Amino acid sequence: MKIAVIGHSSSGKSTFSKRLAQVYQIPVLHIDKIFFEPNWVERDEKVVESEIRAFMNNKRWIIDGFYRKLATERFEEADQIFVFNFNRFKCLYGAIVRRLKYHNQNRDSVCVGCKERLNPSFVWWILFGGRRKDSRQLLKRFEQEHKDKIIIFKTRKQANQYLRMIGYTGTLNYE
């Protein structure tokens, strides 16, 4: 099984991916973990793309992160695509909760040395930058092109219900 998990920033993609990985016993790649160096410095995109493609050589995988211009063949190769298409304010809420939970710490889905932050530029990205017209159009195109293998979540409750349906028995946030 090959799974792509995409959607808006701070919508819960990484947590969902980790839980899918637990249920299905599949390795997961968090693109944020290889896209950034310590202190949120962006790495060379060609190197990151090469690492994504190398991960895709696994027979089974979960790739977490939209990064729509990197290794785009993963969307074709995926057997299942999950889209987190949450309201911008729900995503901002998620970022605030995450910031409080990981204050001055590193999440396991990002590079070591990238402490959790919630600065004005990231807030702007959550509310506006990541929701430009071209991004919205791309998500709609994905919905049409991959309708046979796409599941869209508009709320955390929907994502949690899906996890329960496939046998996840751990704790769920925001239930």
CA-atom Rg of the chain in angstroms? 15
- Per the prediction, the chain carries an average pLDDT of 91
Residue 92 to residue 86: CA distance in whole angstroms: 10
Strands 150-153 and 61-64: unpaired
Element (H, E) at 124: helix 120-127
- Which pLDDT score is estimated for 30? 96
Give 30-69 pLDDT, tens digit per residue. 999 999 999 999 999 999 999 999 999 999 999 999 887 7
Give 83-106 pLDDT, tens digit per residue. 999 999 999 999 999 999 888 888
Structural domain spans, the chain: 2-165
Residue 16 to residue 171: CA distance in whole angstroms: 12
Which of 55, 48, 132 has its CA nearest to residue 63? Answer: 55
Burial of 22 (0-12, 13-18, 19+ CB in 10 A): middle
Residue 40, Cβ neighbours under 10 Å: how many? 16
Residue 82 to residue 85: CA distance in whole angstroms: 9
Instruction: Classify domain 2-165 at the CATH topology level.
Output: Rossmann fold (3.40.50)
Which of 170, 156, 137, 169 has its CA nearest to residue 13? Answer: 156
Residue 3 to residue 135: CA distance in whole angstroms: 20
| pLDDT beyond 70 at 70 | yes
- Which pLDDT score is estimated for 174? 54
Choice between 90 and 137, residue whose per-residue pLDDT is larger: 90
